[in-house]
Amino acid sequence: MSKDDSFPALRAAGSIRQHLPRGLVPRASSVVVQFESVTDDPARNRELFMAENAEWIAEKEHPSEKIMLWAHNFHVASAAGWMGGYLRRHWAARYLSVGFLFDSGDFNAVTQGGGGVRVHHASSSHAADAFEKPFRATGLPRLIVDLRDPPPAVASELARPHSMWNIGAVFPTPRVTRTASRIQSPPRAGT
C-alpha cells in the first residue's frame, strides 16, 4: 500500500491544490481549519466562520458589488454571536438584514428525527400571540415591510413578546417567543 493510499485526505488535499487557482489555496486552507474548529465550539464558531466566508466572498470575489446572502432568520439577525452580528460589525449600516415570516401554508423540510428525508408539511397555526398576526390581518398574501424606523405605535407593538415560527431545514420546531428588539432592527444608512 502506498503512502497516498493510506491517507486519502492528503491525496485529496494535493488534488485540490493542483486544481485551485493560486489565490484560492490560502482561502481553501482557511476553510479546512474552520471545519475542524467547528467541533470545538459549534454554535459560536459556525456563525463567525459563516460571516468570515461571506466577507471574503464579497470583498475578494465581488469587490464593489452588492451581494445577497440567504440564510435562516437567526443566522442573519444583527444580534451579537450570530453571523449577522459579525457582518453588522464589519459592514455597519451597509449590512441590511431581511427576515421572513411564515403564517400558514405548505413547505418542505426535514422531519425532526426523520432520518434526513425532506417531506411535505402543512401548517395552519394561528397562535393568539403570533408575530405574524398583524400581517395576516391585512389580507394580503405577501408583504414587504421596512421596520427599520417604525411609527411609535408599531414600535411599541413590536417590542412586546410574540411567538413566531422557527422553521429552518428541520420541522417541526416549536414556536419561539421573541421581540422585534431581539431581532435588532438595523440603523438606517447615514444616521
DSSP letters, 90-137, are HHGGG---------SEEEEEEETTSTT-EEEEEE----TTBTTHHHHT
User: Can you list the positions of beta strands (E) in the chain?
Assistant: 105-111, 118-123, 162-164, 170-171, 176-178
Compute the average pLDDT of residues 102-110.
Answer: 81
Alpha carbon 16 to its chain centroid, in Å, reads 28
Torsional sign, CA 70, 174, 81, 34: negative
* pLDDT score, position 186: 40
Q: Which phi and psi (to 5°) does residue 179 adopt?
A: -115, 160
Q: What percent of the chain has pLDDT over 90?
A: 19
Compute the average pLDDT of residues 68-93.
Answer: 91
Better-scored residue on pLDDT, 46 or 171: 46
Whole-angstrom distance, CA of residue 49 vs CA of residue 30 = 10
Please check whether residue 47 is in contact with residue 86, taking contact to mean a CB–CB distance below 8 angstroms.
yes
Among 174, 178, 190, CA closest to 79 = 178
By CB atoms closer than 10 A (0-12, 13-18, 19+), residue 19 is: exposed
Better-scored residue on pLDDT, 118 or 190: 118
Those residues with Cβ within 8 angstroms of residue 176's Cβ, 6 or more apart along the chain or in another chain: 163, 164, 166
54 grid coordinates: 461571506
Query: Minimum mean pLDDT among 25-34, 42-51, 68-77, 94-103: which range?
Result: 25-34
Among 128, 134, 175, 137, CA closest to 154 = 134
CA distance to 44, 120, 129, 135, per residue, from 105 (Å):
33, 11, 18, 15
Query: Minimum mean pLDDT among 42-51, 122-131, 137-146, 175-184: which range?
Result: 175-184
* pLDDT score, position 190: 39
Query: Minimum mean pLDDT among 28-42, 85-99, 165-179: which range?
Result: 165-179
**What's this model's pTM, rounded to 2 decimal places?**
0.72
Compute the average pLDDT of residues 167-184.
Answer: 63
Whole-number mean pLDDT of the chain?
77
* pLDDT score, position 40: 75
